[in-house]
Amino acid sequence: MKAAPRCMHLMANQRHIAVFDAGKTSCKLVLLDGGDYAEIEVLRQEFLVLQGPPYPHLDIDAMWSFLCDSLAVFETKYGIDALAITTHACTAGLVGADELLLPMLDYEYEIPPEVAAEYDDLRPAFEKTFSPRMPGGLNLGAQLHFLRSTFPKEYASAALYLTFPQYWSWRLTGVARSERTFLGCHSDLWLPKQGTYSSLVGAEFPKKLFAPMSLAGDTAPVNKIAAKATSLKPGTPVTSGIHDSNASLLPWLDTGGAMSVVSSGTWAILMSVGGTLDRLDSARDMLANVDARGRPVPTARFMGGREYQMLTGGAIEEISASDIEAVIANDTCPLPGRLSGVGPFPLGPGGWTGSSPDTDQAKIAGATLYLALMSDTCLSLVGAGDRVVIEGPFAKNTTYAQLLTALIGCPVHLSTDTTGTATGAAMLMGYAPPRVLGPPLKPMEIKGLSAFRDRWRKLSAAGSALRK
């Protein structure tokens, strides 16, 4: 394995930056203008989680084929001057000399109870890692313990344990690296305040399993093998890679003052820049992220995108203030609990505040109100600061944003970036155009909204015996 080189940032006049944005069940390759980060073209593909054997896992071969084919398309059409990588958290793999030794585990896989109980006795305290205990394999430490316990032969022969962005970087460059935004995201493997590994690394898992530490924006040149597979020019710089929520956060780190960013997708990740870790409660799915500069960021989250899809079934309708008022009047709002173990009410009651919706319009209105109420709760827990910026798919839901404005009581802005996490990932190349916030949204005037919020919170908390 090669050692990680020093950062080789692009100059501001580089023409085209490609960003590989990898999720669990979908990937996209975004091509950006290297000057202003305007989106040129996007290619995307959905993927199925393979059910096994030996356990549910990501289709890495299909993702690699998509990446190679898409890079070839962009290289032929436009030319690519650099490649940045960003991915979701909670995925990593044991690698040998040149390949994965075991498939990359689906983080929603329920680790056998006896193995999970063993891990519970090993993991460091929340007050040190600021990583709450999460279901399935959402803690990377739990995944690694599962692999060690269940596949001792493969574990013993592993050269490295590579986190998801760094796996792709390694496959493209041959350079193995670790990176703190990923390790610092509820992995149990990192101490955010100290900026170093937790006691698990060394005491339980050999430190040699972890590659040399890098910055997210450190680059290495694409190697000859990958250049042939992707059609990239040999030597094209590839970043070490960054956790996707922290890519979304990066453009806003220098805007000044205390603020929050709502990074939306499958998960809604609500990060309080300038907030304090003292408010974090492990029982309410709160944690410390680590930003691209190594600083801990108080964070709350819920699986907003997934829940919205579950609630609406993909129906599309325009929602107005009158639709929200009808939901409140008819007592037709979702309660947390459909996805147990996550969010500020991890053992919520589920169901509805009262009656179930009988139209698509009511379903969408109720789901939109639910997203706003959950976001408001999360921001009240971590501290919203002086303003809130909404990034990602939620920024397209104006009704949600106006409801949040009415609930949270501070200015709320929609990100004007069309590329979401891609902009932050590309900014790692060294050029950061100034962030310009548009005017704050006007709050949606909804009769009885405040009183309904108070009742909704009581119902949600009453059904959730929060873990202490």
- Helix 398-408 crosses helix 360-382 at what angle (to 10 degrees)? 40
pLDDT (tens digit per residue) in 40-92: 999 999 999 999 899 999 999 999 999 999 999 999 999 999 999 999 989 99
Name all domains of the chain by residue range, CATH numbers in brackets.
16-240 (3.30.420.40), 246-462 (3.30.420.40)
When pLDDT is averaged across residues 287-295 and rounded to a whole number, the result is 94
pLDDT band for position 318 (cuts 50, 70, 90): confident
Instruction: Place 3 in a pLDDT band, splitting at 50, 70 and 90.
Output: very low
Q: For residue 20, what pLDDT is reported?
A: 98
Average pLDDT of the chain, as a whole number = 92
Does the structure show a pLDDT above 60 at 468?
A: no
Q: Is the pLDDT of residue 8 over 90?
A: no
444 is written with which tokens? 């949606």
* pLDDT score at 14: 66
The average pLDDT across 176-195 equals: 96
**CA neighbor of 138 nearest in space, from 106, 114, 168:** 106
From 68-77, 137-146, 202-211, 435-444, the region with the lowest mean pLDDT: 435-444
According to DSSP, the residues that pair with 239 across neighbouring strands are 219
Rounded Cα distance, 452 and 444, in Å: 15
Token pair belonging to 390: 């909404």
Q: Is the pLDDT of residue 467 over 60?
A: no
For the stretch 88-135, pLDDT in tens is: 989 999 999 889 999 999 999 999 999 999 999 999 999 999 999 998
DSSP secondary structure letter of residue 251: G
Distance, CA of 287 to CA of 411 (rounded, Å): 24
- The pLDDT tens digits of the residues spanning 223-268 come to 999 999 999 999 999 999 999 989 989 988 877 789 999 999 889 9
Position 48, amino acid: L
Please tell me the predicted confidence (pLDDT) of residue 35: 85
Does residue 433 surpass a pLDDT of 50?
yes
Number of helices followed by number of strands (H, E) in the chain: 16, 19
Model confidence pTM above 0.85: yes
Q: What's the rounded Cα separation, in Å, for the pair 113 and 422?
A: 38
- Return the pLDDT at 434: 63
Does position 201 have pLDDT exceeding 80, yes or no? yes
Torsion of the alpha carbons at 266, 295, 248 and 389, rounded to the nearest 10: 100
Q: β-strand 82-87 against 242-243: which pairing, if any?
A: parallel
Structure tokens that stand for 210 in this block: 């972890």
What average pLDDT score do residues 279-294 get?
Answer: 94
**What tokens were used for 10?**
């692009």
Closest CA to 284 of 369, 378, 193: 378
pLDDT at 444 over 90: yes
389 has a pLDDT exceeding 80: yes
User: Measured on CA atoms in the order 262, 268, 273, 276, is the torsion positive or negative?
Assistant: positive
Give pLDDT tens digits for 327-372.
999 999 999 999 988 899 998 999 999 999 989 999 999 999 999 9
Could you give the CA distance from residue 193 to residue 466 in angstroms, rounded to a whole number?
26
What do you get for the CA distance between the two ends of the chain, in Å? 43
CA atoms of 131 and 200, how far apart (whole Å): 13
Position 5 scores a pLDDT of 43
Check residues 357 and 468 and name the one with the higher pLDDT. Answer: 357
